Structure 1
């Protein structure tokens, strides 16, 4: 019989995931120990929400506004870029000739052309995913790896509040999921902004782990086979692998842990332990969870529709996640090499891979959700961490430019066929209606029925606003 001794370390969200796994063996995804998932009095609800779920399409690297949704055909030749504009279904919106499918459904999309912030390097991924300015400074995007002192990602806040909700034990999936990898994984990094930070690692995203073939491979630029696209969670229990006896042993271990550590936790933490334990056990044995992560259940035609490249299949998996009930799903187009949305060198990859790949997948996602009756309850947010410099190079690469760049919103009652904000003649700065990352974050929280002025407590029990400034863009919703 195993016995667990008292464990003395404590933070506001309980033990770290590593500590929990050390103490609790398999750990049931790190969701089973009361010190990790201590549920306090609920401070946020998901009632009166515009959206049941958010799909956050994160185009890491910085897509060019001038080659996508804020083209300036009347600008000088050094500014306007190599691509021709085409008309869309949105009055006044001309977009790239390589986004023909998106042009045909623009009546379902709100295009914000005036996202802006001063953090002009890739660590702006922290700002975009959290709604908070980065707490560190580093030239040229150095010091990229996440720390426990960073602000929590929006998805982590959603996960935190979901676990505190009265129906937490009934939810069959984690509520913050990251696809197809943690941001930076294909470069051997753990980029800032995607984690729970000071909220506690127990609220990190549940991330899948799709690998490259080799160091030179770019799975976003090519078709991927089924062996590569195995989104199933390795080690997730199957009916055969997890017997009732094994579950009983794990439950017994948890009870011992509970008794050994009760003196280190207040009564409020333990009030809701039973439902947290129930949720953990339901996740580890969930047939629905195993099924949701099995992309092979989709038809060949549907998978072709999204595109067999990594972004396409990850977006299809994102649809499967919200269909199964997850609240916040990030689908990332990462940068496994130097030829991605961080397009310093040439427009060639934009023309051949990036824009066509996005065009196919984005329109497939919106159309598919609409056909399934899910678009009205799913907010789709599409954004990079910045845009590109107005003046291009001779080969039409562009540098970093965070002062004016686009964001697309669709679904969940968003008014389609709408342009929000106007940039100057070179798409360099907002002229009217600038939108900050704080504004966007508050809009996302508000759409989910979370009070955008909510306060959480940090590790020192100080009340901290989930977003410090800004206001939700309620006028973009019908």
Structure 2
């Protein structure tokens, strides 16, 4: 047997069980303690689906959607003079300005809202994966049970719109990069069961490969291998450790992947079917093609789709050096695809019932690390007080006291600016501060998931937000 073909086939089998294999090994001990859910009557729904556009790595709010005073680069300038390294540009909404390079997203802000007062949690030592875990699960790590991703909660409570399309799909993040194991920790359904975990597509440009056998393998041969795989998985040591609920959930996850393989809906991942002019707008890289795939998925009945710019230490939005030049590239990556996603979903009639969120784990600053008055380890690469080299021009330090979140569709008010940060350093939230449990409950509110929804884990109720105390930001809704 050809060694390369053998490796490809093994990799395909892994993909078929992606949703289960990421979640199952970490969640089985907790799943043994899962008991019935208190499911109050649903509230009025404003959305059927969610698309999360994840700016992984810490997107500086003053360089993107909440620009401050522009300070152009000059040799010998002081770091403290840098509040924004980009000039402001107008958006379609009167009085709302973004930073240069985000003109396309600015052109669709009459269809959505911006929160300018999100404050990340104070988790002590700042680590990207800790804050990403907190954003995606609403729980601070570590936890005694495996906590579900928000997409898994939604998949569990609402189920699929189209029974063939996995209800929770995550695109763009690889787990072979730095901190990969930490990233896996929140890409899971946890105690809810493997069938609600993410269908993982690391590279949307090859998404079709996730739902078909490797080249050279006939469907009949694949079906035989799939049957054998199910038998092996059901007898495996991992499954022997799990509860009946967890075993059944894993098998349902595998069956769901198999249904997708054999369905006409699998063509949703075939991006060659898109008109060339649309494809070219989206084709800025893996994130842009992820936005294109997200559009196609929503239009074919996806429930929750996450598209990440991908977190890899010191790359992407993780701008510890060359902050200004890196920001130029990141804006080019997201500006066209995000705006086109909004336009296409509106044109097709799907935007009204699809809640789209653009967010990051925290922001950045040129001088402060963390937040004012909270001493944490300075994890930025050395940035001198006097800048002689342009690689030090920009936002390099983690900042958790103010950030921006954009929302469209799903009943969100159009043209709304909610909250405010200070115009001078520290550019902290000073009006209508929003925290993570409010974001989660705002999403659940749009979908009609009651805030008191919970399961009993290890003898205690486990809510969608800690202790069931989260409240939606109702002012965001029309």
Q: TM-score, normalised by structure 2?
A: 0.74
CA RMSD, Structure 1 to Structure 2 (Å): 4.1
Alignment check: 8 A CA contact 1:455 1:465 kept? yes
Structure 1 residues 30 and 127: alpha-carbon distance in aligned structure 2, compared to 1, 3 A threshold: closer
Q: Distance in 2 between matches of 1:389 and 1:414?
A: 29
Structure 1 residues 376 and 40: alpha-carbon distance in aligned structure 2, compared to 1, 3 A threshold: farther
Long gaps (5+) in structure 2: 1-12, 72-77, 369-382, 388-392
Between Structure 1 and Structure 2, the one with more helix by share is: 2
Local SS of the residue matching 2:441: helix
1:55 is matched with: 51
Structure 1 residues 305 and 271: alpha-carbon distance in aligned structure 2, compared to 1, 3 A threshold: closer
Q: Distance in 1 between matches of 2:283 and 2:251?
A: 43
1:30-109 alignment to 2 at 5 Å? 48-73=44-69, 78-109=81-112
Long gaps (5+) in structure 1: 1-24, 137-147, 211-227
2:455 is matched with: 456
Local SS of the residue matching 1:129: helix
1:341-420 alignment to 2 at 5 Å? 341-389=317-365, 391=367, 393=383, 394=387, 395-420=393-418
1:7 is matched with: none
2:173 is matched with: 181
1:445 is matched with: 444
Which of 107, 122, 125 does residue 118 from structure 1 map onto? 122
Deviations 1:84-134 (A, max 9, x none): 112222233221021112222221121101111213431200111111222
1:129 is matched with: 136
Local SS of the residue matching 1:439: helix
Alignment check: 8 A CA contact 1:55 1:330 kept? yes
2:284 is matched with: 308
Q: CA deviation at 1:279?
A: 5.3
Q: CA deviation at 1:285?
A: 2.3
How many residues are paired up?
415
Q: CA deviation at 1:451?
A: 1.4
Asked whether 1:340 is paired with 2:316, we answer yes
Deviations 1:211-240 (A, max 9, x none): xxxxxxxxxxxxxxxxx92112446359x9
1:225 is matched with: none
Q: Distance in 1 between matches of 2:263 and 2:213?
A: 8
Alignment check: 8 A CA contact 2:70 2:82 kept? no
Local SS of the residue matching 1:232: helix
1:194 is matched with: 187
Alignment check: 8 A CA contact 1:423 1:430 kept? yes
Alignment check: 8 A CA contact 2:16 2:211 kept? no
Q: CA deviation at 1:81?
A: 2.0
Alignment check: 8 A CA contact 1:61 1:335 kept? yes
